[in-house]
Amino acid sequence: MRRRTLAASLAAAAAAAAAVPTAAIAKPGRQGDAYTWRNAIVNGGGWVPGIVFNETEADLIYARTDIGGLYRWQEHSQTWKPLLDWIGWDRWGWTGIVSVATDPVETKRVYAAVGTYTNDWDPTDGAVLYSADYGETWGAAELPFKQGGNMPGRGMGERLAVDPADNAVVYLGTPNGNGLWRSTDYGRTWAEVADFPNPGNFVITPGDPYSGDNQGVIWIEFDQTGRIFVGVADPDDPLYASGDRGRTWQPVPGAAAALGTADGNRTIPKQAAIDHENGHLFIVTSWNPGPYNGPPPTGRGGAIQRLSLATGEWTDVTPAYDPVGTIPGFGGLTVDRKRPGTLMAATENHWYPDEVIFRSTDSGASWQTAWDYVWDKDYSWPPQRTDRFTLNPAGNEWLTWGKTDDGPAYAIKHGWMMDAVSIDPHDSDRIMWIGGTIWGTEHLTAWDAQGPLVGWDETAGQQVALPVEPFEVGVRVQGIEETAVTDIAALGGTLVSAMGDLAGFVQTDLDRPGVMIRHPNWTSGRALDFAGKNPDVIVGTGDVEGDVDGHVGVSLDRGSTWQTTKRLEGVAGGGNAGTVTVSADGAVIVWSPGDGTTAPVRSTDLGQTWTPVAGLPAGALVRADRTDTNRQYAFAGGTVYASTDSGSSFTATSASGLPPAGPVDLRAVPGKRGHLWLAGGETGKTYGMWRSTDCGRTWCRIQHFEEADAVGFGKARSRFGYPAIYASAKAGGQRGIWRSTDEGLTWSRINDDAHQWGWTGKTITGDPAVYGRVYVATNGRGLIYGDIAD
């Protein structure tokens, strides 16, 4: 693949377009420019609760994400292709994928159960999307209830399943008392299976808006005789079967005793897999649906149970040994279709030092672990560690998270929240699993030739690591971009991003992930700014843990290195990062903490000391003029504030008619003293876009938009022209990404209906060095950028 720097010419960008798997060309807007859309590469960045192989067609694999849509594997390029970029603003919740089912009979057919939240965070009901062309085009069957692609329990399942005996029949398990649903026309219409007796009852935290769901009907499996098995989140009645094609249902004898408890902890059946040749139904259980749980207060948190489909006999095949100690519960489960009797499972969650992957080749009678401790004779801490495979993060070095190996806790882990573990049904050597990224190998069966990891040295009287030839596991996430981008700073040749859960990145090559911002140690990046006259100076804010790093970070070399600032007394870590700005010359930083009670502060020594700012309320959005080093601006509650003394004090302007409520984006125009643009507001109230050319004293509404959420600027179309303006907005009832090259007099939509990426209202900016280039922040599809195609 050709690499493309931020300073590359448009001709080079267009020439490279065909080589980039995530690229697509949008139709021309009114101003005649077709656009090519790609991702600024991070590789992953989110969570993939499910990896599903088609059991009939080789190399047909789907990956579902919790907020970033659905992907299909492309074997020729070893990358994933996004399939749901057509989902727009009004249906953004459909980017959360509850489950995916790939048809084993007509393999072009694929189904996705969608909906991000079951609470009021998501305004729309869920749906089942259906496709007959591998996900290239879709239809949608809307449901009368919500689904939770980003809710607790999202790694269980799969909740969707195609009946292999009649592939027009598709089943869906649902949460919150909605029961089991069925379609008999390839997913186009749905009805509840009225005779299914149990909608589930397991709730993590009753009454909690996020953890209060009844987990409901969890998964559906079919054996070779046509029987249907359904797992239910009910420890007292967790498994049902039907032998008459779903007309009647009976509880499976012995299921409650086998699946409903582990060491006194109530458990539910999280995942299941059938070994057809040996006639075994394997089920993993856990005391918590995940994915964030650790172990229960006492005892083990789950089990692996085996049901003989011929006799109905239950056998507890839970591994007797876990190097960390008591099993906290289980995540993923998979069987090897080519090697009957072989299965694997993963713990969820030990957290330290790593998760444990188990493998059995005798139907669970015995197990081996992916790694083990090696203790000296005194059992001194820390022990050594020995592993069956090595992790190669090539091209994704950020997976260290800035850490180094610490005894048995490696900087790069096998994983956490490991609900997706899948052996290729066509190739026993290939496996993929989720664990901070998608890991995978094509050498899995080398495990079976290794033997035990640990032996006993009689002379030394202690354990020793036995020699094994480790196989290599590498990153298999390329093409999946699932970051939630919170802010962008385009400097011309350097792109800096702030991201939820990943802090952010500094990139000089958009085809490589770049360097993760790790100092300060942000858990999530929140806001960015740079000095308008000296863009080597960058400031940012992020959520922090502990009491060491301050929320604000500073770079003096375009993001190559960062330094921390002093922690402001009284501002706790977590989600209190707020917004930050830096004067045009880089000399003054103004920070507005996000805790809602601490008033903005100012620093002239790169954040080593902070002094209160006069005249601003807590939580105000702060911005610096890009040209005038003495001018700063702020916005709060419909009021614009201005400072002429480098942010020492602010005074409310006389501006009126601006949004008093709702999210707002305020931006200063590069090279234009006193020019400001504002977008935002609240549906049904004051909502839109405005501009000011007099330092915020008066404002003119941009009549083109009835709603607008983000605005930014890039290189002008002509040498002395006004910067190109980009917006995520709604005009004439049409949501889109818009561009103006004439100071906002006229606008053209530059994306199309195939490239919408759900919600795009957080931030947008152009590039100061490349005309036409625009960067779009998404909430789960990464950092999208567009170039003029020709």
Query: pLDDT tens digit string along 383-436?
Result: 999 999 999 999 999 999 999 999 999 999 999 999 999 999 999 999 999 999
In this model, does residue 19 exceed pLDDT 70?
no
CB 53 within 8 A of CB 63: no
CB 348 within 8 A of CB 417: yes
pLDDT tens figures, 278-305: 999 999 999 999 999 999 999 999 999 9
CB 219 within 8 A of CB 158: yes
CB 256 within 8 A of CB 237: yes
In this model, does residue 29 exceed pLDDT 70?
no
pLDDT tens figures, 47-82: 999 999 999 999 999 999 999 999 999 999 999 999
pLDDT tens figures, 495-535: 999 999 999 999 999 999 999 999 899 999 999 999 999 99
Predicted pLDDT of residue 32: 65
Question: Residue 714 corresponds to which tokens in the numbers above?
Answer: 């890039």
SS3 content of the chain, % helix, strand, coil (to 5): 5, 40, 60
Please say if 362 is a catalytic residue: no
Cα dihedral 167/171/172/176 (nearest 10): 170
Predicted pLDDT of residue 569: 84
Report angle CA 217, 501, 397 to the nearest 5 degrees: 110
Predicted pLDDT of residue 6: 35
Closest CA to 49 of 413, 346, 442, 360: 346
Cα dihedral 604/610/613/616 (nearest 10): 120
Question: Residue 751 corresponds to which tokens in the numbers above?
Answer: 């994306």
In this model, does residue 380 exceed pLDDT 90?
yes
pLDDT mean over 427-447: 97
Residue with tokens 């330092």, as numbered in its chain? 695
Predicted pLDDT of residue 28: 43
Residue 41 DSSP one-character state: P
Residue 68 DSSP one-character state: S
In this model, does residue 13 exceed pLDDT 60?
no
Predicted pLDDT of residue 570: 81
In this model, does residue 541 exceed pLDDT 50?
yes
In this model, does residue 4 exceed pLDDT 60?
no
The one-letter amino acid code at 224 reads Q
In this model, does residue 760 exceed pLDDT 80?
yes
The one-letter amino acid code at 335 reads V
CB 36 within 8 A of CB 17: yes
pLDDT tier at 775 (50, 70, 90 boundaries)?
A: very high
Please say if 66 is a catalytic residue: yes
Predicted pLDDT of residue 670: 98
Tally of residues, the chain: 790
Positive or negative, the CA dihedral 410, 412, 417, 419 is negative
In this model, does residue 26 exceed pLDDT 60?
no
Predicted pLDDT of residue 574: 74
In this model, does residue 449 exceed pLDDT 80?
yes
Cα separations in angstroms, 71 against 50, 219, 220, 493, 560: 11, 21, 22, 30, 33
In this model, does residue 573 exceed pLDDT 80?
no
609-639 per-residue burial string, b: 16 or more CB within 10 A, e: under 16: ebeebebbbebbbbbbbbbbbbbbbbbbebb
In this model, does residue 365 exceed pLDDT 50?
yes
Return left, alpha or beta for 525; rule: phi > 0 is left, psi -120 to 50 is alpha, else beta.
beta
List residues bridging with 589 in a β-sheet. 582, 603
Distance CA 308, CA 682 (A): 58
Distance CA 151, CA 93 (A): 12
pLDDT mean over 374-391: 97
Cα separations in angstroms, 610 against 140, 565, 600, 621: 54, 9, 9, 18
pLDDT tens figures, 635-671: 999 999 999 999 999 999 999 999 999 999 999 999 9
Q: Is 279 helix (H, G, I), strand (E, B) or coil?
A: coil
Distance CA 581, CA 780 (A): 26
Distance CA 343, CA 444 (A): 12
Catalytic residue, candidates 33, 66, 322, 709? 66
Distance CA 739, CA 704 (A): 12
Closest CA to 781 of 773, 771, 765, 762: 762
Closest CA to 147 of 91, 89, 187: 91
Distance CA 738, CA 378 (A): 68
Question: Residue 552 corresponds to which tokens in the numbers above?
Answer: 């604000």
Distance CA 545, CA 398 (A): 19
Average model confidence (pLDDT) for the chain? 94
In this model, does residue 253 exceed pLDDT 50?
yes
Residues with Cβ within 8 Å of residue 539, at least 6 apart in sequence: 528, 529, 530, 552, 553, 554, 555, 580, 581, 582, 589
Distance CA 413, CA 611 (A): 42
Catalytic residue, candidates 501, 509, 536, 595? 501
Predicted pLDDT of residue 31: 54
In this model, does residue 545 exceed pLDDT 90?
no
Residue 10 DSSP one-character state: H
